[in-house]
Amino acid sequence: MSIKGYIYRIRHNRGYGVQSPSAFFFVTEVLKERLPYYAYAGVEEIADKKGFFCKKHAKALFRITNYFNPTNCIAIESTTAAAIMAMAKPTADKYCISNNKEEIKESIKALLNTLNCQTIAGDCCQELTEAIANVGQIGMLYIGKCEEQASLLSVALPHTNKNSIIIVEGINRSKESRLWWNEVIKDPRTIVTYDMYSYGILFFDKEKCKQNYTLKQ
């Protein structure tokens, strides 16, 4: 990230320039909340199982899930995200989907089973379609780094409403992913978006003004 890009991002981190009251609250009290949570020890333990999953990102994901209280949580190509969302929302319908059977290793699978999260190995787009058929509308969807991100989002978008949240990992990992994310921001179905550099957050409440916020993770 360039110095100019860093400065541009950090100005929104404390809510500066965020005029919407709901967005200001989300940034300052959820994304950037600094107080300890009761479950952070468990969240850090899960993040440690996958060293590439930043603990700061893991804690933010827990806070987002806990705050919005979705009726269902679906994680694709990220067992870590699945476990964290399951911890934050134990009563939700929970799915962990992966193309790679090795991704759902026995130790993680045992944890997810304990958290009543269904683990599914298969074609991600097809399995996501079936999961959506079961839950009706998307509550919270986490799309990990994979080649099918664009296709998965296309499957998901028709099944969103004002309460839906979609998180996409790795939006700045390449020039192609950056260009695709810019198209996602422009899509009329995405209303309020947050670019956290390593991941993006999408909201779909059509009563809000279309807006993108660029922050530092």
Q: What are phi and psi of 46, to 5 degrees?
A: -65, -45
Percent of the chain with pLDDT over 70: 86
- The larger pLDDT score, comparing residue 99 to residue 73, is at 73
DSSP state of 98: E
Q: Domain segments of the chain: what residues?
A: 37-214
pLDDT at residue 14, as a whole number: 47
Rounded to whole angstroms, how far apart are CA atoms 77 and 167? 12
Flag whether pLDDT at 208 surpasses 80: yes
Helix axis angle, 149-156 relative to 124-135, nearest 10°? 20
Q: Which is more confident, 112 or 191?
A: 191
Domain 37-214 matching CATH 3.40.50.970: the answer reads no
- Quick one: pLDDT band at residue 12, thresholds 50, 70, 90? very low
pLDDT digits (tens, 9 = 90+) for 138-182: 999 999 999 999 999 999 999 999 999 999 999 999 999 999 999
pLDDT at position 51:
53
Q: What is the percent of the chain where pLDDT is above 90?
A: 62
Give the pLDDT band of residue 15 (cuts 50, 70, 90): very low
Rounded (10°) CA dihedral 203, 88, 152, 144 = 110
Question: What SS3 state is found at 29?
Answer: helix
Report how far residue 85's alpha carbon sits from residue 63's, in angstroms, rounded to the nearest whole number: 9
Q: Which of 164, 160, 128 is nearest to 146 (CA)?
A: 128
Q: 7-11: long-range contacts (C-beta < 8 A, 24 or more apart)?
A: 8/214, 9/195, 9/197, 9/214, 9/215, 9/216, 10/215, 10/216
Q: Are strands 93-98 and 118-121 parallel, antiparallel or unpaired?
A: parallel
Question: What is the C-alpha to C-alpha distance for residues 172 and 182, in angstroms, rounded to an integer?
Answer: 10
pLDDT at 17: 52
Which tokens belong to 18?
């965020």
